[in-house]
Amino acid sequence: MCILACPFGNIHFDKINLVSRKCNLCEGEPNCVSFCISGALQYTESENYYQNNRQIFQRFIENLSKDDQQ
């Protein structure tokens, strides 16, 4: 879907590895992220990426615990 939806034509299918490949990130300002209506694409620095994922996972675990207590 991303290949078809990309208004810049920068996402390509890698037939060898059977995955979609992205562009060169528009030299640090990926336009596809700003145009992605669904929010499926996000651009973060790798250090922030891991920190944000830990926070999201922690909230998920906390919500599971709350659901179990009810």
Ordered by start, the domain boundaries in the chain are: 2-69
> Could you tell me the sign of the dihedral formed by the alpha carbons of 62, 68, 69, 70, in that order?
positive
HSE, side-chain direction, 13 A CA sphere, residue 3: 6
Residue 44 has pLDDT above 80, yes or no: no
Q: pTM of the full predicted structure?
A: 0.39
Pick from 13-17, 30-34, 65-69: least confident: 65-69
